[in-house]
Amino acid sequence: MTFRKYLVILSIALFGSVGDAFLARGMKDAGSIGLYHVTHVLSVLANPFVIIGILSLLVFMYSYMTALSFADLSYVLPATALGYVNMVLLSILWLHEHVSRQRWMGVAFIVIGVGLVAGGPSRTENHHPAVSESAAIEERV
Amino acid sequence: MRTLYTWLCISTTVFAAASGDVLVALAMRRIGDLGDLRRSQGFVAVMIRLLSSGVLFGGVFFMTIAFFSNLIGLSWADLSLVGPASAALTFIANAIAAKWFLHENVDRRRWLATIFVCCGVLLLTRS
């Protein structure tokens, strides 16, 4: 894993959490959406918070696809949980919220989990047909 | 009834998110390292490879279902329920799917990491 690849993982955590926060804020404005009026969910797309949330999630998506192109899914997903830690840090530094001992424990669990997965290889060997096809395509490229 | 709808949304989100992740991971394996591809052939070549992948579009389709299902779930119930339930269950579903469908070597270290992250997410969002 190079420094650039760690940056890609960090950008997943950053833009994913920021996008979720803006979406949650936007959905609070929208109120409840009934199952019989599912199309009302489209009207939410005009909300500026939802728009910023979607733009952040597009950056998240590109970073996510880049990460999956060089690492396993079971490696990338736990690493993206750093986004939750990012939210706690934002709530302390930006919103000056009090963070309970239980939340600090949650942060510690996530950091240990990410540390565990980051200590191992990012891509594991296997013999899946999809990977053989991938190797063949890469050879052609 | 509201509780039933909420859990229906959470289940749909978890199933669609795991399916989307697996399909996107499969597509990206087939395409290869995007960074290397961009350096050797340029950004346009990367976009052409991405846009011509049917598996990737399948993954994005499932992710879109997960996205709207999550939005509807958030409108039915609090973020403190929908957020942690969807996230924790999706982590576990993805670890199982990565082992079964992508044949990844999900060893003890990765299972432990997944469990630690799930516990961490539950502690963070339920407090």
**pTM (2 decimals)?**
0.75
CB contact under 8 A, B110 and A74: yes
Q: Where do the domains of chain B lie? A: 2-126
Interatomic CA distance for residues B29 and B6, integer angstroms: 34
Is B17 near chain A, with CB under 8 Å? no
CB-CB: which of B24, B68, B116 is closest to A68?
Answer: B24
Q: Which of B34, B68, B106 sits opposite A41 (nearest CB)?
A: B68
Query: Which residue, among A45, A141, A59, A2, has the nearest Cα to B30 in the 3D structure?
Result: A141
Q: Which ranges of chain B have pLDDT less than 70?
A: 79-80, 126-127
What would the two tokens of residue B100 be? 């079964």
Q: Does residue A132 register a pLDDT over 50?
A: no
Convert the pLDDT of each residue in B66-84 to its tens digit.
988 888 887 777 766 777 7
Whole-number Å distance between alpha carbons of A9 and A80: 7
The 10s digit of each residue's pLDDT in A88-101 is 887 777 667 777 88
